[in-house]
Every structure is written in C-alpha cells, then in structure tokens.
Amino acid sequence: MLMIIAVAVGLFFAMNIGASGAAASMGISYGSGVIKKPIIALSLCGIAVFLGAWLGGGEVVKTLGNGIVPKETFTISIALIVLASAALSLFLANILAIPLSTSEVTVGSIVGAGIVYQSLYVAQFAWIFMFWILTPLVAFAVAVLAGKFLKWPAVKNWVRSKKAKPVLAVLVVIMGIFEAFSAGMNNVANAVGPLVGADILTTQSGIFWGGLFVAIGALLLGRGVLETNGKKITELRIEEGCIISGTGAGLVMAASIFGIPVPLVQITTSSIIGIGFAKQGMSVLKKDIVIRLLAVWIVSPVLSMVLCFTLIQLLIEHNIYPIVVMAGLLISVFGVKYLMKKKPDESREVMLSKQN
C-alpha cells in the first residue's frame, strides 16, 4: 500500500513539474507571438518533454537515486516523504503561478533526508550547488551580450526585414521544442529518482511514466506559468526568443549528459531578465515579478529541505525535539520581523513626545 502511495505522489509531482518547469520552456514562443494559442504551445511542450525523458533522462535519475545520498537511505517511506515534501513545495508555487525549480526542491528534500541520517555526499551536493549558481549567471550574461548585439544597426535592420521574420518564427519554435526536450532529460528525474533509488521502479519504467505525467501536467496545469514567463517579465521579440531558448536548452542538455540536475526555469528566466536588462537597464530588476521569482528561488530548496527533515523526524524517527527547536526558530524569526516593522512607528512616537 505504501508503495502505491509513493508512486502516486511521484506521478502527481511529475504533473506539477510539467506545469512549472516544462511549460515554461515554450513561454518564449508564446510570449513573442509566434504561437498564439496556449494549447498549441503546451501540446508541443508535452511531446518534446516526453521524448527527452525517454531518450536521455537516465543519467540524472541515477544522480538523484544514489548520487546525493547512498541508495540504502531510500526506503519506501523515505522516498515517499522526499517526494511529498518536494511536491508540496512545487504545488504551492504553481497555485501562485510562479516558475519554480523542480531540481532545487527535489535536491533540497533529498538533502533533508541525508541530514537526518548523516549520509549526505557533501562533495557531490557542492558540485550540484555550484551548477545552480553558475548556469543562471551564464544564461544572464549570454542574454545581456546577445541583447547588446541585437542593437547593432546592421543586425537590427536584418531581423526586422520581411525575409527574416518567417525564418525567425520557425527557429524560435524549434528552439522552444529543443528546450522542452532538454527539460525532459533533466527534470523528469526529479519525480522518479527517489522511486528508482528505493527500487520501486526501474530506471526505464520510471522515465517512461514520469515523462508521460510531466506531459499531462504541462497540458492541464501549465497555462499560468506559460503566461508568467512569456508575457509578465518583459516584452520579447522573436530574435530574443531564439537566443533565450537556445541558451537554456544548451546549458540544460550539457548538464544532463553529466547527470547534473539544474534549474531549467531559473536558467530560462535569467535569460529573459538578461534580455530585459539589455533593453531597459536596472529598471527591469526592480519589477515585482522578478523580485518574487528571486525570493522563491532562494526559499524553495530550504523549504523542501526543512519540510522533509521535519517529516522524517516526526513520522519515522518519532523524535519531536528537532520540531520544538524549529518551532522556536520560526517564532524568533517572525518576532524579529514584527519588531522591525514596529520600530519606525515607535521612533515617530518618541519624536512627537519630545516635540510636545
């Protein structure tokens, strides 16, 4: 029974991956106006992400199954809690229509389990964490340079000519499909890696069913993230979309070949912000949607790690003491936040009393 529940949670998580991560890969084609109907963009995404998982998702599955913590850590119960913690974090982000990195929440949950049993491969996690920082920065830098290049008069004249438009329209769709394919290679493993680590599924059956449910999730739940990535961060032209999708797909596919789970949504969104930065300067970094994205990226792996750690301690180890400590920490954080908000008001009261 517990095994069936674990598989169900994993497939539910896969659907949310389709909504949050894979759906965002077609946001460029949709945002630039080449694909006008969301259902077409999401259908192409679903097909490409399934093929990416089926043809090239095995290496990242191995990393998440036994590369961050030993395979022995993944009992059926632990795999269920890891997936439930990651899925809950991602589900909350999807409700808010925020593109969230499935790799970060999954790795965060696995790290939480590794901390409980002191079995974390620290060097491997540090290697993954370095890629989390490096790949979005590279994507941002490439997008800024490409955005500056597109401002050159000769380039600008060519991309705005009638001959260039159909070529760029086809290219941006191809790049979006390529990016969705790379999402299948990298992100489907987040839903099935713990199941494979616990020997609930084989690698091949895991990537097949995981890829199928990611495709279903993109079709049924991906509209909100598609709108966010495509139209709410910055306006995009077709040539900019080609650069963004191509950069994201290249970085993610390269990482997938080496079995490194990387944040596809973070890479893509960083590219979009980079294009906006090249056009608008620092003002694009002050937009509320960008600030919200950055906040979620920082909080998401920590949230899933703490959630997984807490659930294992409470449900499996029957240890309430860490829960008490974390509750005290939360009370302290919210208390300090409350006092910081009150401080300006109190200062004004003191100044008024002195004036009177």
CA pair distance 56, 27, nearest whole angstrom: 23
CA pair distance 264, 286, nearest whole angstrom: 22
Tokens 């009393």, residue?
Answer: 353
Instruction: Give the model confidence (pLDDT) of 250-305 as tens digits.
Output: 999 999 998 999 987 778 778 888 888 888 777 766 666 666 666 667 777 888 88
Instruction: Give the model confidence (pLDDT) of 104-148 as tens digits.
Output: 889 999 999 999 999 999 999 999 989 988 998 999 999 999 988
Going by pLDDT thresholds of 50, 70 and 90, the confidence category of residue 347 is very low
CA pair distance 176, 185, nearest whole angstrom: 14
Taking 60 as the threshold, does the pLDDT of residue 193 lie above it? Answer: yes
Give the model's pLDDT for residue 99.
57
Q: How far is CA 301 from CA 159, 262, 282, in A?
A: 40, 12, 27
CA pair distance 263, 129, nearest whole angstrom: 10
Instruction: Give the model confidence (pLDDT) of 53-76 as tens digits.
Output: 999 888 999 899 889 999 888 999
Look up residue 210 and give its two tokens. 């995981």
- Average pLDDT of 161-173? 86
Q: How far is CA 272 from CA 141, 149, 348, 350, in A?
A: 11, 15, 42, 47
Give the model's pLDDT for residue 208.
92
pLDDT: which is higher, 233 or 140: 140
Taking 70 as the threshold, does the pLDDT of residue 93 lie above it? Answer: no
pLDDT: which is higher, 166 or 29: 166
Q: How far is CA 143 from CA 81, 126, 230, in A?
A: 38, 26, 16
Taking 50 as the threshold, does the pLDDT of residue 333 lie above it? Answer: yes
SS3 198: coil
Give the model's pLDDT for residue 221.
81
Rounded mean pLDDT of the chain? 82
Give the model's pLDDT for residue 352.
44
Instruction: Give the model confidence (pLDDT) of 196-226 as tens digits.
Output: 999 999 888 999 999 999 899 888 888 777 7
First to last CA, the chain: 72
Distant-in-sequence, close-in-space partners of 87: CB < 8 Å, separation ≥ 6: 9, 12, 13, 16
Give the model's pLDDT for residue 232.
58
pTM for the full model? 0.80
- Name the nearest CA neighbour of 279 among 225, 237, 228, 329: 237
Give the model's pLDDT for residue 318.
86
Taking 80 as the threshold, does the pLDDT of residue 183 lie above it? Answer: yes
